[in-house]
Structure 1
Amino acid sequence: MLPYKSLIQLKRNSAIALHIQICNNFITLITNGTLQPTGILPSSRVLADLISVNRKTVKLAYEELISQGWAESVERKGIFVFSSLPVLPEIESIPVTGDSEPKESFLWTNHFQNTHRSESYQKLILTIDDGFPDVRLTPVDQLMREYRSISKRFYGKNFLKYGDSKGSEHLRTALAFYLGNTRGLVVSPENILITKGSQMGIYLSAQLLLQSSDNIAVGVSNYASADEIFKYSGANLLRIPIDDRGMDVDHLEQMLEHKKIKAVYIIPHHHFPTTVTMSMERRLKLLKLAREYRFAIIEDDYDFDFHYNNKPYVPLASIDHNHNVIYIGSITKTFAPALRIGFMIGPSAFVEAASSLRQLIDRQGDSLLEEAFASLFENGEMERHFRKSLKIYEKRRNLFCEILQSNFSDVIAFKVPEGGLAVWAVFDDKVNLAQLSENASKQGLHILDGSFYKNEVFSPNALRMGFASLNESEIQQALEVLRRNL
């Protein structure tokens, strides 16, 4: 007889009933080949003594095994593993290769070995992130109040059913009105797809626009996650220089003369990572080239709402009269990143196709949450939040930059950003950012090591240093820790 006393492990304080635990233990013994078909199980009396449980508990376990088809009762002989089950080889150990890595159980292709995993910012530690809002300022109570209110109304239960994969019509209508008022973007709700953040919009656009070996123009410095999306689609990345006036459109024009380009990915406001803003002259020329060479412009406008020094330029989408622009933005990037609501705007047929593609991986978003956000737009709460946050973030930017100027001028070069939530800080070459990040972490400060901003042609000794998510006291504390480690 098998050593059931050691093979059957029970957790006496578990919420799972003992007879179910016994049943599950036997299922494991059968599926790992330890017990074979027609193998006899110990009598209820013997097993009860071995594992120190009541005999009735064992009987209940055997009844459960029989009802699930794992065992059968033979009159006057006992309980046996069901004879019709296939014979399974006994699993002795997990096979390993020479480098001690487990062998794959099936063949698959890993396209993501060198992809940067996103950082977790939920740890309770002082953090200089790369430009996130302060979630402590978020009007969560108002959002949840709307969420609960909608769910309690007689028609609110309808939002628990499947809805339009393009997202809440209410939110799309509210967004169309808001974007028209704040960005001069005249758009119909039918041209809007609600996404799980701007990242989904970039992915959907790439999948519809790009095929293997197609060319897409991106910045020499660029948002690394967008680069990974375009590479995954099989496209070639053509790097265009970025200077103080944004993407060098003259360089792009020269490239267009001898290369077919399907799309251009652009971050005209607060370019990632360098925070520069694209000049109006270059914006107009880019639109002219798109019309002439028939390529799409993917405009990533992830934080338009935060601009301090003067009124921001209108998006390219607002002055695009030839419908070449796919406009992507985020609601929650400027509200609370984890809530994951963004939008993609484009020609109606393109948006319909993106909606169909979205259904293959994510049937729809959170309808109730989208309805709650629509209410916040309609009652003015979102605009109040943005206005309040803008004043606070401007004060934080000013303090952050004042301290950098006075205490870090020997090791950090930077320009005060006109907008956005981060400073692009270029460190002296003698500073090892990886070591700096490690040392600061030991003293209670989390800061990135700069690797996320690098690519095959761009390798600065620089960081995006977010100021918005820290209050004045935290800014001073964080920069004091940073200074000690330089």
Structure 2
Amino acid sequence: MAQMLPYKTLIQVDRNAHTALHIQVCNSFITLITNGTLQPSDILPSSRILATLIGINRNTVKLAYEELINQGWAESSERKGVFVLSRLPILSKTSVPSSGKKNSRQEAFIWTNNFKDAVPGDDLQHTRLAIDDGFPDVRLAPVDPLMREYRSLSRKFYGKNFLKYGSAKGSEHLRRSLANYLSHTRGLHCSPENILITKGSQMGIYLAAQLLLQASDNIAVGVSNYVFADDTFKHAGGRLLRIPVDQQGMDVDQLEKVLRNKTIRAVYTIPHHHFPTTVTMAMERRAKLLKLAKEHRFAIIEDDYDFDFHYDNKPYLPLASIDHHHNVIYIGSISKTFAPALRIGFMVGSPAFIDAAAALRQLIDKQGDTLLEEAFAVMFDNGEMDRHFRKSLKIYRQRRNAFCELLKADLSDKISFNTPEGGLGVWAQFDKKTNLVKMSEAALKKGLYIGNGSFYKNESFDTNALRMGFASLNENEMTEALGILKQVLH
């Protein structure tokens, strides 16, 4: 019966493939056995017949059968031939789903999907022209010097040690360099023991959430907030308490009222260039937030993802820099200021908290890329990173000004906004008649990617607005992009 199978079509060989022909034939038979087409004790075609059917040498077929037997899929009987191993379990033939719809077939095993409503992040690797969320221009990043340091380290005799397992906290060299950098730029005095290197700020948010929150613990967040942070806290079992955000940042007076009736474990805040609205928290609110944290013994997760880009005056010091009672967990990112795909971030906290975060990090990611971390450390030490930040700051200030001027000149009837003091994007309020979903779809047809505003919405925040990033566009590109947007909106 097995010899009647259409082996000429079932077994295909590729003479140009790197895999040997006899291994290709062997693997094809394994597939036919495991999908139920061939059953235990079925006889396989003779080597002569199969060689003729699929157009290969008979000795190649013999080698394939020997491999099948050696691997335990087949057995040989003298003068009778080669058979599928009789001791194998009987497998039902794989059925093809009757419906062509995605996920129409029942899952093979039971699992819990807590991410059905997750909002996917933007894939901008294949877009030529995009008004993004507010990302750096990767063309400005000193990637060549970074890769030069990377290659140099890999060739040195001591650099080979960086290819071994290292500390889950990350490169000690980079932690020392960051401690020095944070002290000089933010007035944040810490030691390498206070720092954990992460793969971007998102990993820091996740680790903090897992350590701070248990089922039904309250965490205070902004009414408008970074959606991936919200989802991270929910995944950890936290209950989100929404606190209003106005032009002075999170309303700490409202938080104080909430604290009269509820116990919270943490406050998540982005005091510098709040996401998505770009507002900066007033200093008196910062001081009061720290006072409440001390009195009520909750943690403050301070997400300071783009501190380095502030244009009109010197940026406020982070909460962590003026926290004298160790309530702040400070999270920052090099990815957001250098290039998003180079996943380097950091978390600063008490040594005990950082030790615990490092132990948890090992469960999901043993360690980071030590060579890359060492290369970044050299870039901090030799001043390359500082030069990059100063150069980028100048360029992004010019781009912010040009972008805002174009918005005012061409789209003031459709968009209202405040010129941001810092950050890499403008929080743009569209008139109520504008359908952002249709706008996004129409722009894409003309070659422009722009979001549709859904990323910023939550159960308490639903406004016809989106962040319009200017930093990744040079002036010619932003003129073209906003020209397309003008066509679409008018």
Measured against the shorter chain, the TM-score band is over 0.9
Partner of 2:379: 376
Give the equivalent residue in structure 2 for 1:9.
Answer: 12
Task: Tell me: CA distance 1:226–1:22, structure 2 relative to 1, closer, same or farther (3 Å).
Answer: same
Are residues 1:50 and 2:53 paired? yes
Provide the C-alpha distance between the structure 2 equivalents of 1:226 and 1:283, rounded to a whole number of angstroms: 20
> Is contact 1:96–1:103 with CA below 8 Å preserved after alignment?
no
1:65-214, aligned counterparts within 5 Å?
65-94=68-97, 101-214=104-217
Q: Which moved more, 1:99-108 or 1:255-264?
A: 99-108
Contact 1:265 1:300 (8 Å CA) reproduced? yes
Q: Provide the C-alpha distance between the structure 1 equivalents of 2:52 and 2:384, rounded to a whole number of angstroms.
A: 67
1:83-142 Cα deviation digits (max 9, x unpaired)? 222222222334769997110111111000001011111014200001000000010110
From 262, 267, 274, give the equivalent of 2:265.
262
Aligned length: 486
Q: Which residue of 1 aligns with 2:316?
A: 313
SS at match of 2:51: helix
One-letter amino acid matched to 1:18: L
Aligned to 1:444: 447
Aligned residue among 228, 239, 242 for 2:242: 239
| Partner residue, 1:223 | 226
Alignment of 1:342-357 (within 5 A): 342-357=345-360
Q: 2:103 and 2:320 mapped to 1: Cα distance? A: 53
The equivalent of 1:249 in structure 2 is 252
1:362 aligns with 2:365: yes
- Structure 2 distance, partners of 1:21, 1:127, is 45
Amino acid at match of 1:445: L
What SS does the aligned partner of 1:313 have?
Answer: coil
Structure 2 residue runs of 5 or longer lacking an equivalent are: none
Give the aligned CA root-mean-square deviation in angstroms. 1.3
SS of the residue aligned with 1:239? strand
Mapped contact 2:127–2:449 kept (Cα < 8 A): no
Which residue of structure 1 aligns with residue 62 of structure 2? Answer: 59
Helix, strand or coil for the counterpart of 2:336? helix
CA spacing shift, 1:274–1:98, aligned 2, 3 Å = closer
Cα distance in 1 for residues equivalent to 2:383 and 2:407: 36
Partner of 1:26: 29
Q: CA deviation at 1:51?
A: 1.1
Q: Which moved more, 1:99-108 or 1:467-476?
A: 99-108
The 3-state SS of whatever aligns with 1:339 is coil
| Separation of aligned partners in 2, 1:332 and 1:91 | 45
Could you give the per-residue CA deviations for residues 440-461 of structure 1, whole angstroms, max 9, x where no partner exists? 0010100000000000010110
Structure 2 Cα separation of the partners of residues 364 and 124 of structure 1: 31
Residue by residue over 1:333-372, the C-alpha shift from the partner in whole angstroms, topping out at 9 and shown as x without a partner, is 1001101000001111111000000000100000000000
On the 8 A contact 2:8/2:53 being kept in 1, the answer is yes
Alignment-mate amino acid for residue 319 of structure 1:
I
In structure 2, the CA distance between the partners of 1:367 and 1:98, relative to structure 1 (3 Å rule), is closer
State the shift of 1:412 in Å: 0.5
1:469 corresponds to which residue? 472
Which ranges of structure 1 fall in alignment gaps of 5 or more residues? Answer: none
Please give the secondary structure, in 1, of the residue aligned with 2:157. Answer: coil
More divergent stretch after superposition (53-62 vs 182-191) = 53-62
| Deviating more after overlay: 28-37 vs 243-252 | 28-37
Residue type of the alignment partner of 2:180: F
1:168 Cα deviation (Å)?
0.2
SS for the counterpart of 1:155 is: helix
Q: Does residue 322 in structure 1 map to residue 318 in structure 2?
A: no
2:458 alignment partner, SS class = coil
* Residue in structure 2 matched with residue 403 of structure 1 by the alignment: 406
Distance in 1 (CA, whole Å) between partners of 2:315 and 2:411 is 29
Instruction: Check whether the contact 1:95–1:103 (CA below 8 A) recurs between aligned residues.
Output: no
Letter in 2 for 1:61: A
Contact 2:309–2:422 (Cα < 8 Å) also in 1:
yes
CA distance in 2, matches of 1:123, 1:30: 41
Q: 1:59 offset after TM fit, Å? A: 1.1
Which secondary structure state, in structure 2, belongs to the residue aligned with residue 305 of structure 1? coil
Contact 2:97-2:104 at 8 Å conserved across structures? no
Distance 1:444 1:88 in 2: 50
Q: Please list the CA deviations of residues 17-61 of structure 1 after superposition, one character each: whole Å capped at 9, or x if unmatched.
A: 222111111001111112122221111001011111111211121
With normalisation by structure 1, the TM-score equals 0.98
Shift of 1:420: 0.3
Does structure 1 residue 394 correspond to structure 2 residue 397? yes
Instruction: State the distance in 2 between where 1:177 and 1:98 align.
Output: 56
Aligned counterparts of 1:356 and 1:83: Cα–Cα separation in 2? 49
Pick from 289, 292, 311: which aligns with 1:289? 292
2-structure distance, mates of 1:350, 1:381:
31
Cα distance in structure 1, aligned partners of 2:433 and 2:307 = 35
Cα distance in 2 for residues equivalent to 1:99 and 1:140: 41
Q: Deviations over 1:380-418 (max 9, x none)?
A: 000000000000000000000001111111110000000
| Contact 2:265 2:298 (C-alpha < 8 Å) held by counterparts | yes
Residue identity opposite 2:38 in structure 1: L
1:299 matches 2:296:
no
Write the distance in 1 (CA, Å) between the matches of 2:254 and 2:465: 25
Counterpart-to-counterpart distance in 2, 1:117 and 1:98: 21
| Residues 128 and 98 of structure 1, relative CA distance in 2, 3 Å threshold | closer
